[in-house]
């Protein structure tokens, strides 16, 4: 009852209009500024897609070079920010550290609070895209007790990130170009996804005029949950828990049991009800990486392949239109590359930063911008009189 439409989970409410990303869940279509994700993931690369998302068109060669130089020039973080990292418990989850450090950047870049100045918006956008790999890698290094590795600006975005994660002072890390390409593809496939929970969180936070770094920190916090970005970590942990293919039927039965909260992580999607177009490309990428690393005998991978086969043949999953999503395959690739599961969601966060930033910029440029302020259906007590404590 009431004058408001109740739409739990916002399954049929459009919260904004947007020209950035289009999804047709029935047909399995995802486009950025009109370009299909499959083409972008195969023929383009992450920084070019960042440009496309931010400015609406593919860049010319000169525009791309200028953009890449700009991003590269901002990859360092201020030395004083190392203190923020050191304040965390030594074994902190890298997502916890990222929420804190990115939020703390709002205390560092006061200028960005002036969101009405287009120049400041631009600088904040570039800073976020450039510094996020450095921050994610530092959060990782801190969590394993290794020294921070500074960015190297002669490397491309993905190679630089891999090196900041895996290089140790005693031994220089040689970036394998196939792994760098796979990393770049993971970034590209996660770059934006219209009004998902974390993007909506960023927009809601920013609708009050808040500092952009604080808004992105809110997005990172929302992404962390296992129903959203945290699914990639949860999925690999589930595959490890299953352990061997003979235990798959037990877990499939649990996923189908209405009285058991267990779900197959990496399966299902709110919008895609046929297939996740990102998962298609990610699966190809997984095959490439696994071929290169020669991990056919990896037990996690064997469980993943068999689980995928069994679930796709099971009528429960077909009826409910549950297919492997992007996180099912990304976790397998990241695991093979040597990332611990705790880094899977930070990698998603760094890749999604450009989506958050593009949506934030679009929102601020919208002449219809209003503070986001949903209403509710009140189901509590009717008005009543206060009772003194001795009379209760
Ligand atoms: N395993 C088993 N059953 C499932 C699953 C699953 N993974 N996902 C949905 N269902 C069932 C669910 O129990 C429900 O059954 P019933 O109609 O009998 O109550 C039905 O399918 C519909 O589920 P829902 O929760 O109403 O659907 P939703 O659109 O609210 O949820 C989802 C979408 C992605 C949160 C959900 O499918 C899920 O929890 N999947 C596992 C987590 C996951 O992989 N998340 C990553 C999504 S892709 C990347 C990202 O967005 O970050």
HEC sequence for 274-289: CCCHHHHHHHHHHHHH
- Domain 8-225+342-364, what architecture? Orthogonal Bundle (1.10)
Q: Which own/partner pairs from 177-182 qualify as long-range (CB within 8 Å, at least 24 positions apart)?
A: 178/288, 178/289, 178/292, 179/289, 179/292, 179/337, 180/156, 182/285, 182/288, 182/289, 182/333, 182/337
Active site residues: 269, 327
pLDDT tens track for 145-172: 999 999 999 999 999 999 999 999 888 7
pLDDT tens track for 70-83: 999 999 999 999 99
Atom of ligand 1 nearest to the CA of 235: 44
- Report the nearest-CA residue for atom 28 of ligand 1: 270
Task: Determine the Cα–Cα distance for residues 46 and 189; give it in Å rounded to an integer.
Answer: 9
Report CA 218 to chain centroid distance, whole Å.
Answer: 13
- Report the nearest-CA residue for atom 52 of ligand 1: 228
- Enter the pTM of the model: 0.93
Calculate mean pLDDT across residues 343-351.
97
Calculate mean pLDDT across residues 26-54.
97
- pLDDT at residue 2 is higher than 70: no
H runs (alpha helix) in the chain = 37-43, 46-55, 61-73, 82-86, 94-108, 118-143, 157-166, 177-189, 197-206, 212-223, 231-242, 248-256, 277-293, 299-313, 315-319, 326-337, 344-364
Q: Are 351 and 191 in contact (CB under 8 A)?
A: yes
- Report the nearest-CA residue for atom 22 of ligand 1: 320
Q: What are phi and psi of 201, to 5 degrees?
A: -65, -45
Q: How far is the CA of 384 from the centre of ligand 1 (A)?
A: 41
What is the reported pLDDT for 292?
85
263 three-class SS: coil
| Substitution candidate for ligand 1 out of 263, 274, 355 with most atoms within 8 A of CB | 263
Q: Where in the chain is the domain with CATH 1.10.230.10?
A: 231-337
State in words which class domain 231-337 has.
mainly alpha
| Average pLDDT across the chain, whole number | 93
Q: Percentage of the chain surpassing pLDDT 90?
A: 83
- pLDDT at residue 110 is higher than 80: yes
Q: Are 33 and 53 in contact (CB under 8 A)?
A: yes
CA angle 59, 70, 22 (to 5 degrees): 40
- CB neighbours (10 Å) of residue 291? 11
Atom of ligand 1 nearest to the CA of 230: 52
Residues pairing with 31 in the sheet: 22, 36
- pLDDT at residue 1 is higher than 70: no
Task: Determine the Cα–Cα distance for residues 9 and 231; give it in Å rounded to an integer.
Answer: 18
Q: Are 212 and 124 in contact (CB under 8 A)?
A: yes
Q: Percentage of the chain surpassing pLDDT 70?
A: 99
pLDDT tens track for 277-322: 999 899 888 888 888 887 677 788 889 889 999 999 999 999 999 9
Task: Determine the Cα–Cα distance for residues 359 and 201; give it in Å rounded to an integer.
Answer: 11
Nearest to 52 by CA among 77, 35, 38: 35
Nearest to 273 by CA among 11, 6, 14: 11
Task: Determine the Cα–Cα distance for residues 165 and 75; give it in Å rounded to an integer.
Answer: 14
Considering only residues 321 and 47, tell me which one the structure prediction assigns the higher pLDDT: 47
Calculate mean pLDDT across residues 241-255.
95
Task: Determine the Cα–Cα distance for residues 290 and 162; give it in Å rounded to an integer.
Answer: 17
Q: How far is the CA of 307 from the centre of ligand 1 (A)?
A: 16
- Report the nearest-CA residue for atom 9 of ligand 1: 268
What is the reported pLDDT for 113?
83
Q: How far is the CA of 232 from the centre of ligand 1 (A)?
A: 14
Q: Are 357 and 126 in contact (CB under 8 A)?
A: no
Task: Determine the Cα–Cα distance for residues 230 and 226; give it in Å rounded to an integer.
Answer: 4
Q: How far is the CA of 268 from the centre of ligand 1 (A)?
A: 5
ipTM summary value? 0.94
Q: In the structure, what pLDDT confidence band is assigned to residue 173 with cuts at 50, 70 and 90? A: confident
Calculate mean pLDDT across residues 208-234.
94
Strands 21-24 and 29-32 turn out to be antiparallel
Q: Where in the chain is the domain with CATH 1.10.580.10?
A: 8-225+342-364
264 three-class SS: coil
| Substitution candidate for ligand 1 out of 268, 275, 315 with most atoms within 8 A of CB | 268
């Amino acid at each position: 009852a009431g004058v408001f439409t109740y739409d739990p989970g916002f399954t049929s409410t459009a919260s904004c209009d947007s020209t950035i990303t289009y999804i047709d869940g029935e047909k399995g279509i995802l486009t950025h500024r009109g370009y299909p994700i499959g083409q972008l993931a195969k023929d383009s690369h992450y920084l070019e897609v960042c440009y496309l998302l931010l400015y609406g068109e593919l860049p010319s060669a000169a525009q791309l070079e200028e953009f890449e130089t700009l991003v590269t020039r901002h990859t360092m973080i201020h030395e004083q920010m190392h203190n923020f990292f050191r304040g965390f418990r030594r074994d902190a989850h890298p997502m916890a550290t990222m929420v804190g450090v990115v939020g703390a950047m709002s205390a560092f870049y006061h200028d960005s609070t002036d969101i009405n100045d287009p120049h400041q918006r631009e600088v904040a956008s570039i800073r976020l895209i450039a510094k996020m790999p450095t921050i994610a890698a530092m959060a990782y290094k801190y969590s394993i007790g290794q020294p921070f590795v500074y960015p190297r600006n002669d490397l491309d975005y993905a190679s630089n990130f891999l090196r900041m994660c895996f290089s140790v002072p005693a031994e220089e890390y040689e970036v394998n170009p196939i792994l760098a390409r796979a990393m770049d593809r993971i970034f590209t496939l996660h770059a934006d996804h219209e009004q998902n929970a974390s993007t909506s969180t960023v927009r809601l936070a920013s609708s009050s005029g808040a500092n952009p770094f604080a808004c992105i920190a809110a997005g990172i916090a929302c992404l962390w949950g296992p129903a959203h970005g945290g699914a990639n970590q949860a999925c690999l942990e589930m595959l490890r828990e299953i352990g061997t293919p003979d235990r798959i039927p037990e877990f499939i039965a649990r996923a189908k049991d209405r009285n058991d909260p267990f779900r197959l992580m990496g399966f299902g999607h709110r919008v895609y009800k046929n297939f996740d177009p990102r998962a298609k490309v990610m699966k190809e990428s997984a095959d490439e990486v696994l071929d290169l690393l020669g991990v056919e005998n990896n037990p996690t991978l064997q469980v993943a392949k068999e689980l995928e086969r069994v679930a796709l043949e099971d009528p429960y999953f077909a009826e409910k239109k549950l297919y492997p999503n992007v996180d099912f395959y990304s976790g397998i690739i990241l695991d093979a590359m040597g990332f611990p599961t705790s880094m899977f969601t930070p990698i998603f966060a760094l890749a999604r930063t450009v989506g958050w930033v593009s949506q934030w910029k679009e929102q601020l440029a919208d002449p219809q911008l209003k503070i986001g302020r949903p209403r509710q259906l009140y189901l509590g007590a009717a008005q009543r009189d206060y009772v003194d404590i001795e009379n209760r």
